[in-house]
């Protein structure tokens, strides 16, 4: 524990950790010193001058260093000027006065100065109702303006900084929180001030504008209505909104969110989600979320939502009752006997997956996890366990990121890893191409696609990088699927698990393996016992297939072909997809916004989400649908209570042992304090009142012997002459079904199919950046726009997943310029 | 009297290396590096009573001794931004007597253990920067700069750096930011540059004129230097005289010379033989000295005495204002300047200078109402003590003292409306 310091604030004696600033110390004991530029997560700058207070320091005897005592108490010397509470660090014996006439005059003055140029358009401002400036104007502002209205500056009211964030230059108070967030916390320095004095304006100098996947957070910490999101501006007033706790489903990080809802006239008075806001969980996402999580939620309210069960009659899908539809499904499942195959995705909650698992076990069927990535068998053995938190990683910790572009695959992990590196953690990035994380790393290793296992095994060798790994007190490895298919990522995972286990980095807090999975609950599926199948097309060919939360027909022409030859297809999903169109039975599932349940994040943290909006049509939660089908098959499954289902899960899956909904709902005190009446302090992020979740136990801590499966992957396929090795990579904004539903908002960022080539490879082909080429491999044929990347090897072509060219794994490809 | 700083006025071609060398140039530097410890050099400067010539008058030797010896490397930055309206002394020193300035800078570097010095010049000094680059190259060639100087272990290099036209970059921490390639905006202090300066390393920043004083101090000793000037303000000062005088220009005189001597003996008196109404002793940042009494002109120009008449000597850029000038006009000019130059970082200065410029504009144009003068005074006082750096504070000096000391001018200005 750090050294403690005792000081007096407004007559209250407080003891706080050494090194913090006065404003934070006051906050800890419930005294709110008004601030604008100060944010507890940013470095102090002392520029807005809102937090001026009187600060006195005890006089010390020059010879002895002891306090000089006067009238029985230490003699306190006050500075003649007011001082900023946000830049002065606490000292023993310090006396802070925040409520004296002198201090209040300082605060009044600053508010008046800020209002000289501010339009005071609160009645039409999106921030109105949750605006620090509005609140402080009410508290400290003058009732009457001494500034002549006609002399106010007229500035731009709708200045787009990018296509997601809009700046109102009149409302901006030049606190630089947004700029400092982008520079200090994210490392994407894409906005800054232009001009000076009263002409100071925020501008973006990136192309495209505000080119950062964290841009939405600046609107939360903006203490006025200067920065708004294109999604929410002019949509609703904050006081009309209800707030429901949720978990983001866009990747495996599991960011805690709050869904703000209200009745929406344009939706015929239905309750809809108006915006997604971060909810504080300092162990997961702190007070941030990425733009995909913030903006790509619109699919839940899409017109393509499935509202009632349908069955195929005379080659057409027609509405049916739940009973008829589930009965038809059940009859076919029973009839199929061991030709019954279930595909589940990480969209499903732990409870849903548990029901499916039980159904599979009690029938003659087989269940697979629908994912392009393997390796979950080992993350459930040597993954992160209780008490792990990136925030506690710094000096002494080594973080390895291998085969992953974290910025694109799991932005908040990128942020957390970057910050751990800022705190002194050793960051080793192993990747075949340059990624944004390289800038913050101590070591970068560039291996050739196919050599990822070797480069991980090299971590145990006696080299400088090896020493940085083996001699670390704590070590974490994040592995992804950059350039890898199922076999490749499974092999990589086992190699990672092996070096972690050999180094004693398994089964203890802040150590272990993290899979950078595609979906929110892939880890949960692995824990519950689902596995991936490399040759899925073969596994479903001619079978009776129950597909839950997946769209194989859109994803992969080979799977589409296999499903054409399936005996019977039941599809359960939230939305109409290409796969529901070929189904024999379609079952409408509730979106995560409509129901409750839990997800297990990549860090193996189980977290609850809650219903926020009414159910669409007759849709049911996935676990209930599975239960209803099971009942027709003579299998009894819990179908109404998620908490009872979770209890069943906790009894039968070892890593969940001891967990319950009550445990997951616990909250611990967090710093900084946010989301209360004083939004100026932490921003508009929500306080966590609905649970911070709990991490699963690791096999090693349970006293089990852990055997890491040895996987020797086949060599990567060798391209023939004139062929390139096409490898899959992941982009944050892909053309996946859920993202495309928010395409209006994200259109400039999504784009189309691309292929990245080394400049020499492009030259060999006679193509330039931006030109369209034809790409064909393994039954896939399509066009893609050429991008150049001089960090990859000449024989490789990068193809983003879910962007129009269905790539599952490294594959030799023909690339031809278009005529 | 022979010049100590403006020696080029006594000796022809003093800005050439040969002439400078012939006149004992670099002897003090060589002696310091080869025969003295850094602490001894600092002690001599401390003993001399030399105070910073940039305006604040902080004891130079003491500043050097504050440098954090636990954190390396150390840097020295020469403040050659010279942006204060009415100040033009550093330019003359650098043009006429560049080697004495550079020698002083080199001695200072040795004293604080810096191996690199930067000379930060205002953007308009680009010709001067090229000139200094040439002089630095000559010094390198002669073995005064480079590695293992005078056969010892000490190494030193110097670089010039041009600003981009911002007054605020004369403020030392804004200068450091600018030098680092960032926006020129002042930093929060503490920490102060001697512990956290350029690139976060201990840094000493002094004015050009301050450095120019160092070689003669080392050559002739602290006692000699102390014998010049007054007890409070040792040595000589280059006074930049401007305004309604017959012979404006730089005058090197001992501290303690009176305003009267400067204006009448050296400056040739006021143009058209009018009377002095006010004096700004430190450029646009000054308080306005009310000259309603002949005795005011007999005030000695040293740091302590000028304070007794309600102003600071600052950089000693003496602007003489005669009885034809209206103070509401003058205050409008200074406020306009500060509004233009405010960096915008802190609220009171960014908003206050903008507000004040609106009010002074109204008053000057005859659109003001009596309440405007009170409002202006109130806004200025509301800014005081709250700004992040001194610029904001400076912007209020002429306003407050103008209104308080020349109330009639303002009353007249608003009575027209």
Task: Name the 3-class secondary structure at B337.
Answer: helix
- φ, ψ (nearest 5 deg) of residue A570: -110, 125
Tokens of B202: 């201990």
The band of A679, judged by pLDDT with boundaries at 50, 70 and 90, is low
**Residues A696-750: pLDDT tens digits?**
998 877 888 888 888 777 667 788 888 999 999 999 988 877 777 777 788 778 8
Q: Do B53 and B210 touch, CB atoms closer than 8 A? A: yes
Q: How many CB pairs under 8 A join A and B?
A: 89
Q: Do A724 and A761 touch, CB atoms closer than 8 A? A: yes
d(CA B61, CA B52): 9
pLDDT of residue B417: 52
A45, A109, A116: residue with CB nearest B386: A109
Tokens of A662: 């009550």
The band of A819, judged by pLDDT with boundaries at 50, 70 and 90, is low
Give the residue from A274, A191, A265 showing the smallest Cα distance to A229.
Answer: A274
d(CA B63, CA A667): 52
Say what the ipTM of the complex is: 0.93
Q: What is the DSSP letter of A473?
A: S
d(CA A325, CA A340): 17
Q: Do A253 and A260 touch, CB atoms closer than 8 A? A: no
d(CA A805, CA A800): 8
B342, B355, B388: residue with CB nearest A196: B342
B166, B342, B346: residue with CB nearest A47: B346
Q: How far is CA A269 from CA A231, A232, A742, in A?
A: 19, 18, 21
pTM, two decimal places = 0.95
Q: How far is CA A749 from CA A229, A745, A746, A752, in A?
A: 15, 9, 5, 9
**Residues B5-20: pLDDT tens digits?**
999 999 999 999 999 9
Residue A1 above 60 pLDDT?
A: no
d(CA A247, CA A719): 42
Tokens of B250: 């730089």
Spell out which residues of chain A touch residue B387, defining contact as CB-CB under 8 Å: 49
Q: Do A110 and B348 touch, CB atoms closer than 8 A? A: yes
Task: Name the 3-class secondary structure at A102.
Answer: helix
d(CA A666, CA A695): 12
d(CA B4, CA B212): 9
Spell out which residues of chain A touch residue B373, defining contact as CB-CB under 8 Å: none
CB contact under 8 A, A200 and B339: no
Residues 6+ apart with CB under 8 A from A763: none
Our CA-based measurement puts residue A36 at a distance from the nearest CA of chain B, in whole angstroms, of: 11
Measured between its terminal Cα atoms, the distance across chain A in Å is: 68
pLDDT of residue A791: 93
Our CA-based measurement puts residue A233 at a distance from the nearest CA of chain B, in whole angstroms, of: 27
User: What average pLDDT score do residues A205-220 get?
Assistant: 95
Beta bridge partners of A272: A262
pLDDT of residue A720: 86
CB contact under 8 A, B342 and A198: yes
d(CA B385, CA A360): 75
Tokens of A463: 């080299």
pLDDT of residue A750: 81
Of A59-73, A479-493, A653-667, B61-75, the poorest mean pLDDT is in A59-73
The enclosing H or E element of A160 equals strand A159-160
d(CA A276, CA A261): 9
Q: Do B291 and B274 touch, CB atoms closer than 8 A? A: no
Q: Do A773 and A818 touch, CB atoms closer than 8 A? A: yes
Task: Name the 3-class secondary structure at A449.
Answer: coil
DSSP-derived secondary structure for A585-631: EEEEB--TTSS-EEEE-TT-EEEEE---SPPPTT-B-HHHHHHHHHH
- Given the structure tokens 């509730």, which residue do they identify? A590
Q: Do B318 and B281 touch, CB atoms closer than 8 A? A: yes
| CA-based R_g, chain A, Å | 28
Q: What is the DSSP letter of A796?
A: E
Higher pLDDT, A568 or A135: A568
d(CA A363, CA A372): 26
d(CA A347, CA B1): 90
CB contact under 8 A, B387 and A49: yes
CB contact under 8 A, A198 and B346: no
Q: How far is CA A186 from CA A51, A191, A389, in A?
A: 26, 12, 18
- Per-residue b or e along B310-334, where b marks 16 or more CB atoms closer than 10 Å to that residue's CB: ebbbbbbbbbbbbeebbbbebbbeb
Q: How far is CA A78 from CA A49, A58, A489, B389, in A?
A: 18, 9, 63, 19
CB contact under 8 A, B358 and A148: yes
Q: Do B336 and B378 touch, CB atoms closer than 8 A? A: no
pLDDT of residue B416: 66
User: What average pLDDT score do residues B292-313 get?
Assistant: 94
The enclosing H or E element of B251 equals strand B249-254
- φ, ψ (nearest 5 deg) of residue B23: -100, 45
- φ, ψ (nearest 5 deg) of residue A147: -100, 135
**Residues A505-540: pLDDT tens digits?**
988 999 999 999 999 999 999 999 999 999 999 999
How large a percentage of chain B has pLDDT more than 70? 100
Residue A211 above 80 pLDDT?
A: yes
User: What average pLDDT score do residues B230-239 get?
Assistant: 95
Kindly identify which residue of chain B lies nearest to residue A146, measuring between CA atoms. B375
Residue A759 above 60 pLDDT?
A: yes
Spell out which residues of chain B touch residue A198, defining contact as CB-CB under 8 Å: 339, 342, 344, 350-351, 353-354
Our CA-based measurement puts residue B350 at a distance from the nearest CA of chain A, in whole angstroms, of: 5
To the nearest whole number, what is the mean pLDDT of chain B? 96
Of A282-296, A729-743, B275-289, B402-416, the poorest mean pLDDT is in A729-743
**Residues B116-160: pLDDT tens digits?**
999 999 999 999 999 999 999 999 999 999 999 999 999 999 999
**Residues A416-470: pLDDT tens digits?**
999 999 999 999 999 999 999 999 999 999 999 999 999 999 999 999 999 999 9
To the nearest whole number, what is the mean pLDDT of chain A? 93
Our CA-based measurement puts residue A203 at a distance from the nearest CA of chain B, in whole angstroms, of: 14
User: What average pLDDT score do residues A595-609 get?
Assistant: 97
B382 near A CB under 8 A: yes
**Residues A244-276: pLDDT tens digits?**
999 999 999 999 999 999 999 888 899 999 999
Task: Name the 3-class secondary structure at A58.
Answer: strand
**Residues B172-202: pLDDT tens digits?**
999 999 999 999 999 998 899 999 999 999 9
CB contact under 8 A, A196 and B339: no
d(CA A445, CA A437): 12
Residues 6+ apart with CB under 8 A from B240: B86, B87, B88, B89, B249, B250, B315, B316, B317, B318
On the CB side of B196, how many CA atoms lie within 13 Å of its CA?
Answer: 6
Spell out which residues of chain A touch residue B341, defining contact as CB-CB under 8 Å: 196-197
B188, B342, B351: residue with CB nearest A113: B351
d(CA A338, CA B314): 94
d(CA A591, CA A311): 21
Q: Do A233 and A216 touch, CB atoms closer than 8 A? A: no
DSSP-derived secondary structure for B325-347: --HHHHHHHHHHHHHHH--S-SH
Three-state secondary structure of A499-563:
HHHHCCCCCCCCCEEEECCCCCCHHHHHHHCCECCCCHHHHHCCCEEEEECCCHHHHCHHHHHHH
User: What average pLDDT score do residues B240-261 get?
Assistant: 97
- Given the structure tokens 């649908």, which residue do they identify? A625
CB contact under 8 A, B386 and A148: no
Our CA-based measurement puts residue A81 at a distance from the nearest CA of chain B, in whole angstroms, of: 5
Spell out which residues of chain B touch residue A152, defining contact as CB-CB under 8 Å: none
Helix ranges (H only) for A1-155 are 22-28, 101-117, 132-140
Residue A65 above 90 pLDDT?
A: no
On the CB side of A149, how many CA atoms lie within 13 Å of its CA?
Answer: 2
CB contact under 8 A, B354 and A116: yes
């Amino acid at each position: 524990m750090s050294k403690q310091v005792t000081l007096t604030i407004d007559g209250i004696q407080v003891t706080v950790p050494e090194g913090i600033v006065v404003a934070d110390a006051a906050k800890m004991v419930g005294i709110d010193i008004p601030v604008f530029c100060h944010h507890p997560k940013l470095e102090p700058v002392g520029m807005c001058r809102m937090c001026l207070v009187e600060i006195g320091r005890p006089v010390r005897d020059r010879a002895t260093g002891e306090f000089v005592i006067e009238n029985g108490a230490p003699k306190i010397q006050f500075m003649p000027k007011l001082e900023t509470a946000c830049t002065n660090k606490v000292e023993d014996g310090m006396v802070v006065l925040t409520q004296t006439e002198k201090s209040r005059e300082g605060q009044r003055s600053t508010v008046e100065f800020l209002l000289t140029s501010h339009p005071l358009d609160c009645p039409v401002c999106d921030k109105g109702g949750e605006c620090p400036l509005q609140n402080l104007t009410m508290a400290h502002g003058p009732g009457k303006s001494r500034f002549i209205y006609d002399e106010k500056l007229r500035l731009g009211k709708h200045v787009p900084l990018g296509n997601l964030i809009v700046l109102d230059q009149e409302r901006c108070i030049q606190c630089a929180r947004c700029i400092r967030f982008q520079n200090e916390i994210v490392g994407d320095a894409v906005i800054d001030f232009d001009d000076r004095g009263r002409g100071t304006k925020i501008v973006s100098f990136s192309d495209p504008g505000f080119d950062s996947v964290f841009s939405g957070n600046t609107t939360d910490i903006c203490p006025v209505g200067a920065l708004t999101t294109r999604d929410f501006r002019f949509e609703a007033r904050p006081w009309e909104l209800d707030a429901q706790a949720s978990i983001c489903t866009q990747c495996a990080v599991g960011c805690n969110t709050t869904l703000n809802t209200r009745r929406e006239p344009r939706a015929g008075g239905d309750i809809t989600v108006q915006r997604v806001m971060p909810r504080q969980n300092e162990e997961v996402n702190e007070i941030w979320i990425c733009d995909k999580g913030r903006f790509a939620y619109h699919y839940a309210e899409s017109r393509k939502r499935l509202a009632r069960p349908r069955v195929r009659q005379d080659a057409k899908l027609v509405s049916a009752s739940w009973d008829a539809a589930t009965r038809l499904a059940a009859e076919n499942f029973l009839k199929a006997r061991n030709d019954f195959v279930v595909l589940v995705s990480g969209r499903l909650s732990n409870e849903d997956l548990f029901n499916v698992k039980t159904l599979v076990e009690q029938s003659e069927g087989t269940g697979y996890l629908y994912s392009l990535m393997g390796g979950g068998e080992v993350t459930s053995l040597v993954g992160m366990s209780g008490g792990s938190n990136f925030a506690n990683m710094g000096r002494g910790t080594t973080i390895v990121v291998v085969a992953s572009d974290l910025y694109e695959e799991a932005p908040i992990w990128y942020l957390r890893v970057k910050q751990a590196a800022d705190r002194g953690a050793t960051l080793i990035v192993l990747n075949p191409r340059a990624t944004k994380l390289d800038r913050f790393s101590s070591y970068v290793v560039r291996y050739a696609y196919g050599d990822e296992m070797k480069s991980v095994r090299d971590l145990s060798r006696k080299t400088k990088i090896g020493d940085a790994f083996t001699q670390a007190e704590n070590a974490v490895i994040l592995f992804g699927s950059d350039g890898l298919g199922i076999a490749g990522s499974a092999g990589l995972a086992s190699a990672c698990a092996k070096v972690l286990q050999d180094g004693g980095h398994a089964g203890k807090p802040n150590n272990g393996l993290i899979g950078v999975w595609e979906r929110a609950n892939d880890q949960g599926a692995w824990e519950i016992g689902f596995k991936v199948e490399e040759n899925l097309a073969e596994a479903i060919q001619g079978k009776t297939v129950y597909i839950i939360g997946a769209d194989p027909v859109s994803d992969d022409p080979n799977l589409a072909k296999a499903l054409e030859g399936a005996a019977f297809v039941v599809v359960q999903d939230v939305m109409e997809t290409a796969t529901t169109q070929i189904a024999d039975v379609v079952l409408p599932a509730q979106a995560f916004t409509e129901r409750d349940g839990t997800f297990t994040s990549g860090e193996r943290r189980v977290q609850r989400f809650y219903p926020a909006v009414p159910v669409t049509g007759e849709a049911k939660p996935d676990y209930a649908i599975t239960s209803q089908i099971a009942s027709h098959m003579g299998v009894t499954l819990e179908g109404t209570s998620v908490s009872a289902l979770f209890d069943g899960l906790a009894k039968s899956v070892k890593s969940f042992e001891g967990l319950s909904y009550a445990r997951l709902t616990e909250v611990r005190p967090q710093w900084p304090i946010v989301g209360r009446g004083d939004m100026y302090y932490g921003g508009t992020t929500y306080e966590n009142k609905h649970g911070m979740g709990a991490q699963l136990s690791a096999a090693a801590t349970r006293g089990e012997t852990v055997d890491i499966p040895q996987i020797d992957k086949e060599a990567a396929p060798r391209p023939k002459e004139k062929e390139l090795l096409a490898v899959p990579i992941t982009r944050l904004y892909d053309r996946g079904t859920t993202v495309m539903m928010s395409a209006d908002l994200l259109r400039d960022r999504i784009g189309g199919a691309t292929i990245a080539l080394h400049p020499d490879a492009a030259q060999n082909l006679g193509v330039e950046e931006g030109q369209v080429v034809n790409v064909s491999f393994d039954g896939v044929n399509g066009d893609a726009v050429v991008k150049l990347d001089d960090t990859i090897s000449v024989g490789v072509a990068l193809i983003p997943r879910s962007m129009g060219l269905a790539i599952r794994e490294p594959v030799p490809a023909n690339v031809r310029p278009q005529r | 009297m022979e010049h100590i700083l403006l020696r080029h006025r006594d000796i022809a071609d003093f800005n050439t290396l040969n002439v400078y060398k012939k006149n004992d140039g670099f002897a003090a530097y060589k002696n310091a590096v080869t025969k003295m410890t850094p602490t001894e050099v600092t002690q001599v400067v401390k003993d001399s009573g030399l105070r910073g010539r940039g305006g604040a008058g902080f004891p130079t030797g003491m500043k050097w001794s504050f440098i954090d010896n636990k954190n390396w490397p150390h840097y020295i930055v020469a403040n050659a931004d010279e942006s204060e309206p009415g100040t033009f002394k550093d330019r003359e020193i650098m043009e006429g007597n560049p080697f004495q300035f550079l020698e002083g800078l080199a001695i200072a570097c040795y004293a604080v253990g810096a191996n690199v010095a930067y000379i930060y010049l205002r953007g308009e000094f680009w010709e001067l920067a090229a000139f200094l680059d040439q002089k630095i190259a000559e010094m390198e060639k002669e073995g005064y700069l480079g590695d293992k100087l005078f056969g010892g272990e000490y190494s030193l290099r110097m670089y010039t750096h041009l600003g981009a036209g911002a007054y605020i970059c004369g403020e030392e921490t804004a200068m450091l930011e600018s030098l680092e390639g960032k926006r020129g905006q002042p930093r929060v202090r503490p920490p102060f540059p001697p512990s956290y300066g350029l690139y976060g390393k201990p840094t000493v920043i002094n004015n050009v004129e301050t450095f120019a004083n160092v070689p003669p101090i080392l050559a002739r000793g602290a006692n000699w230097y102390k014998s010049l000037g007054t007890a409070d303000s040792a040595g000589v000062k280059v006074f930049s005289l401007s305004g309604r005088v017959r012979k404006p220009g730089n005058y090197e005189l001992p501290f303690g010379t009176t305003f009267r001597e400067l204006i009448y003996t050296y400056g040739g008196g006021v143009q058209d033989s009018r009377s002095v109404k006010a004096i700004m002793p430190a450029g646009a940042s000054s308080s306005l000295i009310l000259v309603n009494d002949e005795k005011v002109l007999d005030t000695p120009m040293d740091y302590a005495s000028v304070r007794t008449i309600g102003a600071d000597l600052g950089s000693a850029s003496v602007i003489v204002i005669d009885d034809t000038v209206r103070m509401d006009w003058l205050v409008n000019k200074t406020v306009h300047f500060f509004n233009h130059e405010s960096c915008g970082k802190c609220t009171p200065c960014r908003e206050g200078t903008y507000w004040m410029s609106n009010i002074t504009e109204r008053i000057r144009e005859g659109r003001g109402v009596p309440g405007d003068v009170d409002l202006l005074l109130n806004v200025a006082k509301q800014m005081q003590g709250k700004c992040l750096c001194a610029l904001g504070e400076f912007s209020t000096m002429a306003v407050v003292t103008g209104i308080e000391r020349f109330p009639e001018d303002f009353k007249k200005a608003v009575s027209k409306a």
